A and B are shown apart, each in its own frame.
Chain A
Amino acid sequence: MAADTPMKERRRQVLALAGGSAVLSLLPPGAVQAQMPTAPPPLGSGYALLVPKATQGAPVRAGRVTVDAPALADNGHSVPVRIVVQSAMRPDDHVRSITLLSDRNPRPVIVKAWLGLRAGRAELSTRVRLNGTQRLLALAEMSDGSWWSGQADVVVTESACLDGS
């Protein structure tokens, strides 16, 4: 039994070493640096690239579009959003399409709706997923080919994308 004690101690040392290195190997290289606090990019900074894609390069003016969303959403899994576009909805002046964009979601186009002349009102309500605090941007394409935009800032406490992001 006297020979047992050093053996056990050695065993513990070996186990401790193995455990420690296993934890270290789980962390990808650079993970320690990634946890350093960095200032988030300003709200809506991603739209400079997204909007030309959505409008095929057509110029966009701010106005005529209202985005109704809660200023604070506890949960990003389901956030009610309403988009209203000011339009007479006459044959010579109506809204062709409404697009809702997010510059923080992995897929930026949340919904695109085509309204015909039979759509009596340029309005759309739905519930969306939001990957964190962000500025939502809605685009409206008019029958004369002009594009208008509106936005709303939503603070999201719990992101919808906890997995895989």
Chain B
Amino acid sequence: MVARVRVPDTVKRGEPFDVRIAIQHVMETGYRFDNAGRTIAKNVIHTLVARYDGIEVYRAELGSGIAANPYLQFWITAPASGMLELSWVDDAGVAGRERVPVTVRD
């Protein structure tokens, strides 16, 4: 799965900064039909977790009410420079992961 994650170039110690993530995913609702009239199985990214240097800082449970190619913006703080890791799983069990370094400047 292709995903794009954006964080500011530098952040201030302890100051909130925004994390923006966009993942390429159909977010299939399970309410649509294919050309033969069969139901297309529901397949959405149901969990997204953000960890900073291994510590969980944010978690979101998504449903079929989230638009295709889900986009999420949320805020976290960083006590020191480190690695932000975002991981997600969809109903088909396909997982994705993206790591971005965060630079803290005083």
Contact = CB atoms under 8 A, between A and B. Distances in A.
A110 B63 contact: yes
Interface stretch (B2-10, B69-77, B89-97, B98-106): B69-77
Name which of A106, A111, A123, A163 has the most chain B CB atoms within 10 A of its CB.
A111
B32 A129 contact: no
B56 A116 contact: yes
Name which of A79, A113, A122, A126 has the most chain B CB atoms within 10 A of its CB.
A126
Contact of A113 (B52, B55, B60, B67): B60
Name which of B15, B56, B61, B73 has the most chain A CB atoms within 10 A of its CB.
B61
> What band does the interface of chain B fall in when counting residues whose beta carbon is under 8 Å from A?
20 to 34
Contacts of B52: 118
B66 A128 contact: yes
A107 B63 contact: yes
Interface in A55-106: 77-79, 89, 100, 102, 105-106
B65 A129 contact: yes
B64 A113 contact: no
Interface of B: 15-17, 29, 31-33, 39, 52, 55-68, 70-77
